């Protein structure tokens, strides 16, 4: 049964938050009038009062504008008024974490959780901040707490996977990424899985995930570039495919208007793997100029060294896992 609200004890049932302004306007109806008009004395007084009110409102507006001039200022103002504002605490923590002020960010994520214990985002954000501070065990507790909140989400598994990968726990990270992919197929998860497989030397599985990423979003330059690099330089000759590498790398460069030095370098490596050494040399020269002009001097230096190989009719390949140096 719906509760019965007690009626107001007076005839003034206006909302209390608006009572001052409403009362000011209602008072106009009680002022002395002559032939339906306000008497001269009251009219002059009203004009003075109106000007004073406008000036007061302007000062208030300027003061509040200063408070809300930045998202951080708005959030700090909200928290000062209501420290239990869990969403504001979390959002302020995110702003601080983006500035790498992890210590203060941790305080606000913790405050958010004190007001709302089952706030998944705050658990995940706190976990990431703790991980960045090197507090791995505490970070893992927060990630596991987030995973315990129902229903499970792909984002929780992905963020925990990244934290595990930072600690070198690659197999556990792969497991969580696969769960995330089953919840929500998306290109970045494919790329993350491919990257982890590549790091662990599982090049065949990395190739599978990169192909899936390219199929998932055919015009994604990063997916095309990474696929081309693996096809051109993989230490496992059975996985290399120069012609396909050229197609993927050229598409990535076209999508980025040949302005991304690393992708131009990948195209040069793909040409070399396909046996098109004059094109490989010309493309490497292009990358050296592009990398130097854009400040990517280290990449330009590497391309200059590879240019010597391409001119000699030789391709460059990664070494098998556990090896050192380079294999041509």
> Domain range for residue 174?
165-218
In b/e form, how buried is each residue of 114-145, taking b as 16+ CB within 10 angstroms?
A: ebbeebbbbbbbbbbbbbbeebbeebbebbeb
Domain boundary among 88, 120, 149: 149
Is position 308 within any domain? yes
Q: Which helix (H) or strand (E) holds 37?
A: strand 37-38
Position 44 scores a pLDDT of 52
**Which two structure tokens, joined as six digits, stand for 109?**
């994520």
- Scanning the chain, the segments in alpha helix (DSSP H) are 19-27, 40-67, 71-81, 86-98, 102-115, 120-132, 136-148, 154-166, 170-183, 187-199, 203-216, 221-233, 242-255, 261-273, 277-294, 297-311
CATH of the domain at 169: 1.25.40.10
Q: Are residues 109 and 212 in the same domain?
A: no
Q: Are residues 141 and 235 in the same domain?
A: no
Domain boundary among 97, 116, 149: 149
Cα separation, 165 vs 128, whole angstroms:
12
Domain count, the chain: 3
Is position 11 within any domain? no
Position 320 scores a pLDDT of 86
The pLDDT profile of the chain, 328 residues, written as one tens digit per residue, is: 433 333 333 333 333 332 233 323 333 333 444 444 445 554 454 455 555 555 555 555 555 455 556 899 999 999 999 999 999 999 999 999 999 999 999 999 999 999 999 999 999 999 999 999 999 999 999 999 999 999 989 999 999 999 999 999 999 999 999 999 999 999 999 999 999 999 999 999 999 999 999 999 999 999 999 999 999 999 999 999 999 999 999 999 999 999 999 999 999 999 999 999 999 999 999 999 999 999 999 999 999 999 999 999 999 999 888 765 555 4
Position 70 scores a pLDDT of 87
Q: Are residues 214 and 249 in the same domain?
A: no
Contacts made by residues 80-87, CB under 8 angstroms, sequence distance 24+: 83/111, 84/115, 85/115, 86/111, 86/112, 86/113, 86/115, 86/116, 86/119, 86/122, 87/112
Q: Are residues 254 and 285 in the same domain?
A: yes
Angle at the Cα of 89 from the Cα atoms of 88 and 93, rounded to 5 degrees: 115
Position 273 scores a pLDDT of 98
Position 55 scores a pLDDT of 55
CATH of the domain at 306: 1.25.40
Q: Are residues 232 and 286 in the same domain?
A: yes
Q: Decide if 174 contacts 196 (C-beta within 8 A).
A: yes
Is position 157 within any domain? no
Domain boundary among 101, 119, 149: 149
Beta bridge partners of 327: 317
């Amino acid at each position: 049964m719906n509760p019965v609200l007690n009626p107001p004890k007076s005839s003034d049932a206006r909302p209390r938050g608006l009572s001052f302004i409403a009362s000011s306007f209602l008072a106009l109806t009680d002022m002395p009038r002559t032939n339906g008009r306000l008497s001269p004395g009251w009219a002059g007084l009203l004009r003075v009062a109106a000007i004073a009110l406008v000036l007061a409102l302007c000062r208030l507006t300027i003061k509040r504008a200063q408070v809300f001039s930045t998202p951080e200022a708005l959030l700090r103002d909200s928290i000062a008024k209501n420290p239990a504002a869990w969403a504001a605490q979390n959002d302020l923590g995110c702003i601080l974490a983006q500035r790498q002020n992890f210590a203060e960010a941790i305080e606000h994520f913790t405050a958010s959780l004190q007001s709302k214990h089952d706030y998944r985002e705050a658990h995940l954000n706190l976990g990431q901040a703790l991980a960045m501070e090197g507090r791995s065990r505490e970070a893992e507790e927060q990630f596991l707490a987030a995973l315990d909140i129902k229903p499970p989400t792909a984002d929780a598994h992905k963020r925990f996977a990244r934290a595990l990968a930072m600690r070198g726990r690659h197999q556990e990270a792969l497991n969580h990424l696969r769960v995330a992919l089953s919840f929500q197929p998306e290109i970045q998860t494919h790329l993350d899985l491919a990257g982890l497989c590549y790091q662990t030397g599982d090049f065949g599985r990395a190739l599978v995930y990169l192909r899936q990423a390219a199929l998932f979003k055919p015009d994604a330059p990063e997916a095309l570039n990474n696929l081309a690099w693996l096809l051109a330089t993989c230490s496992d000759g059975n996985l290399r495919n120069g012609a396909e590498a050229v197609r993927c790398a050229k598409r990535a460069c076209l999508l980025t208007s040949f302005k991304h030095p690393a992708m131009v370098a990948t195209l040069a490596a793909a040409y070399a793997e396909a046996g098109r050494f004059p094109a490989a040399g010309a493309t490497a020269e292009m990358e050296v100029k592009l990398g130097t002009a854009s400040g990517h001097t280290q990449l330009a230096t590497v391309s200059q060294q590879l240019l010597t190989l391409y001119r000699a009719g030789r391709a460059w390949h990664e070494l098998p896992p556990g090896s050192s140096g380079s294999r041509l």
